[in-house]
Amino acid sequence: MITRGFKQEFERWTDALETANGLRPQLKSWFVDIRIFDGKSLVWMYSKLRAHPEYIGPGTYDRLGRLFMAEGQAKAAGRSQWNIQGHPFNWGERTYLMGVINITPDSFSDGGQFNSVAAALEQAHRLLGAKIDILDIGGQSTRPGAEQISLGEELNRVVPVIEAIRQDKTLAQAVISIDTTRATVARAAIEAGADIINDISGATYEPDMLKVAAETKAPIILMHLRGTPETMQQMTDYDDLLGEMSAFLRQQIERALEVGVPRENICIDPGIGFAKTYAQNLEILRRLPDLAALNCPILVGASRKSFIGWILDQPDPHQREWGTAAACTAAIAGGADILRVHSASMVDVAQVADAIWRQ
């Protein structure tokens, strides 16, 4: 990078651009600019004449895209893997799938289908038999407008299912996540055999959730959300959607670190469908690579969501499988590490998308 009185070499494009942005206010003259080179090729130019940096030269956009992607892949490779129940999670190598088992009568897609220990075990066998990586057990519906059940009811729904999975010889080594916003439920679930905490509130409903994660050493998934499932769809006004989401997640990551959660145990989720309009959900999928700057594995849960029904004019969540496949492919292309899905058919989708995007 070169400007008047300044010349410096950088190993990373992001560092060069950050330095250039810091120097831009010093451009007092119309005849002075900041130039960034790739070898001998001029690729960026900043000046007082330009409100934004300008790409220079044919093929520059593609070349910079490749450089940024390479940096992102290198950063992903530096993230520490998870190893749970003997199953390694090597971020960046492939996409991992989290299969939903809702022990609820009112979830938007499968409410009532697995609302017993026997039915839940049957679904767990189906999912693991299809090579799903994680079983996500939840007892509280989080569909838009859902009312919160009592603590006792949530415990009675999820703990017996987790215990039954651990007692089943075929399922005993399954990786289990507990989908809850309650610290007491998370702790009880981990004591019963769960491995991962999946908190849609990002540990804002009950900050003690972070202490549970620290004390039990369980990985935790922090999702972006505004309001509650009852109120969230009234809270979709953002000045900068990705910027505000990133700030929220960064804040919760810092709070987790402060109470002793290791950074390598933190995963983030942009919260598709939670306090987001249909158009905003699409923007998240388009700009998913923006979240790579937080340097955590990324989970995306787009399966059968209403924005897919809006695009397809399909009110039945079970008829949104092809749309879900498209959304999952987009998420993988954008760098998602884990996909939360309802159907084992997404295993084939992820395998093909990985062959295209991760090779």
Mention every residue, 6+ apart, whose C-beta is less than 8 A from residue 284: 241, 242, 245, 270, 272, 276
Distance CA 134, CA 212 (A): 20
Q: Give the model confidence (pLDDT) of 162-182 as tens digits.
A: 999 999 999 999 999 999 999
* Model confidence band, residue 108 (pLDDT cutoffs 50, 70, 90): very low
- Residue-wise pLDDT for 240-287, tens only, equals 999 999 999 999 999 999 999 999 999 999 999 999 999 999 999 999
Contact (CB, 8 A) for 349 and 328: yes
pLDDT at res. 83: 97
Q: How confident is the model at residue 20 (pLDDT cuts 50, 70, 90)?
A: confident
Position 49 scores a pLDDT of 55
Active-site amino acid positions: 305, 340
pTM: 0.78
Q: How many CA atoms lie within 13 A of 13 on its CB side?
A: 17
Tell me the C-alpha to C-alpha distance, in Å, between residue 63 and each of 2, 36, 41, 92, 294.
20, 13, 11, 21, 23
Region(s) of the chain under CATH 3.20.20.20: 81-357
Please state which of the ranges 97-111, 148-162, 187-201 shows the lowest mean pLDDT: 97-111
Arithmetic mean of pLDDT, 204-226: 97
**Would you say the C-alpha torsion 178, 181, 187, 192 has a positive or negative sign?**
negative
Q: Residue 351 has what pLDDT? A: 97
Q: How many CA atoms lie within 13 A of 312 on its CB side?
A: 20
Q: pLDDT band at 141, cuts 50/70/90?
A: confident
**Class (C level, CATH) for 81-357:** alpha beta
Per-residue pLDDT band for 22 (boundaries 50, 70, 90) equals confident
Supply the pLDDT for residue 110.
52
Per-residue pLDDT, 1: 56
